[in-house]
Amino acid sequence: MISMPNSHRRGFTLIEIMVAMAIFTLIGLASTGVLNSVINSDQLSSERFAKLEELQRAMLTIERDILQIVPRALRVNGEPVSAVISGGEDVLNSDADGLGFVRAGWHNPQMLLPRSTLQAIGYRLQEEQLQRLYGNYVDNVIGYEPKIKILLSDIEDFRVSFLTEVEQLEKPEEWEESYSNANIPIAISITLVSKTFGEIRREFILANGI
């Protein structure tokens, strides 16, 4: 028996193959674009989350230091000064405001370390970095350079202000922009201007100042 060829059987034409390849190419390009977008978004989220964690750590450090301020005067270049807190412009060679004081609560178990539990602390802005200055001793010798820890980067401004009267608490515009006194103020406010988070203001009520 002789079989007749099936006239309905045929392969893919060149045009059909090219169209299919073009469709798969478009799908591949679209998938790559979506994947790159997801990767970039995840990277941006990770970077922003890391900066948020850095900001939280910095604010906790600032809060811990300020809430433990004690009325202890310093020696600057070997000379005693009466002020227990100095803040405002031209303090600690800051590009903006600066803040200097002595804090308690520096852990020294059973006084085994050759230092006290007090620590001189300073905050300043240099090269868009919020820096924390500290040392092992409250009164340092002439020529001593404090240790520096960078708390935050990409900071455009750093401002401090001081509350000396309870009536000023609800009037931030009346807070004093500079302070150098033998008495602890009622409260201190810290304002940071970050390139990532914008303006951030925190106010700290000081128990020793009330």
pLDDT of 192 higher than 80: yes
Range of the domain at 115: 63-209
Residue 201 in any domain: the answer is yes
Is 51 part of a structural domain of the chain?
A: no
The two tokens of residue 175 are 């807070």
Domain of 124: which CATH number? 3.10.610.10
* Higher-pLDDT residue of 6, 135: 135
Asked if residue 29 belongs to a domain, the reply is: no
Distance, in Å, from the CA atom of 183 to the CA atom of 164, rounded to the nearest integer, reads 10
Burial of 2 (0-12, 13-18, 19+ CB in 10 A): exposed
Confirm whether 47 is domain-assigned: no
Q: Is residue 149 part of a domain?
A: yes
Per-residue H/E/C for the chain = CCCCCCCCCCCCCHHHHHHHHHHHHHHHHHHHHHHHHHHHHHHHHHHHHHHHHHHHHHHHHHHHHHHCECCCCCEECCEECCCCEEEEECCCCCCCEEEEEEECCCCCHHHCCCCCCCEEEEEEEECCEEEEEECCCCCCCCCCCCEEEEEEECEEEEEEEEECCHHHHHCHHHCECCEEECCCCCEEEEEEEECCCEEEEEEEECHHHC
Instruction: Say how many C-beta atoms besides its own lie within 10 A of residue 196's C-beta.
Output: 14
Q: Is residue 107 part of a domain?
A: yes
Tens of pLDDT along 34-93? 777 777 766 767 777 888 889 999 999 999 999 999 998 876 555 667 888 989 998 889
pLDDT, one tens digit per residue, over 151-188 is: 999 999 999 999 987 766 666 667 899 998 888 999 99
Strand partners of residue 130: 125, 152
170 occurs within a structural domain: yes
Overall number of domains in the chain: 1
pTM: 0.74
Enter the tokens of residue 179: 């302070």
**9 within domain boundaries:** no
